Amino acid sequence: MLFRSNQRQGRVVKTVKGKDFAHGCTGGTPEENAEATREILHCSQPHSGSSAKLDLAVVNAGAAIYVAGRADSLSNGVEVAREATKNGSAADVLERYVETSQALADF
């Protein structure tokens, strides 16, 4: 992965070439994908050894946070998403979702 610094906004922007990105973001079996999701939300390296999955998840979540009006810019939404992976709140929401969906499946 290549890094470049955006000095005007004081942010580091990560640039990834398409082939590198695709290599790090390939899916797997449902079980592998569930494990990768848990690793991402606990802010650990995805099982592929690449941070591409974490980066993709954070960018997508950041966009959703921004569109939902919970951040005043896309970059702030990404910051909120990244912090949620670091502090464990994203993992907590996933676990509550899994528990609820499993309970509802019993009906």
Rounded Cα distance between 90 and 27, Å, is: 20
In terms of Cβ atoms closer than 10 Å to its own Cβ (0-12, 13-18, 19+), residue 68 is: exposed
Find out whether 3 and 12 touch, Cβ atoms under 8 Å.
yes
Q: pLDDT value at position 46?
A: 46
Q: Which two tokens stand for residue 20?
A: 């590198």
| Terminal-residue alpha carbon distance, the chain | 47
Rounded Cα distance between 71 and 84, Å, is: 13
Place of tokens 């797997």: 28
Q: pLDDT value at position 51?
A: 74
Q: For a pLDDT cut of 70, what percent of the chain falls above it?
A: 70
- pLDDT tens digits, one per residue of 51-61: 778 888 889 99
Rounded Cα distance between 69 and 33, Å, is: 29
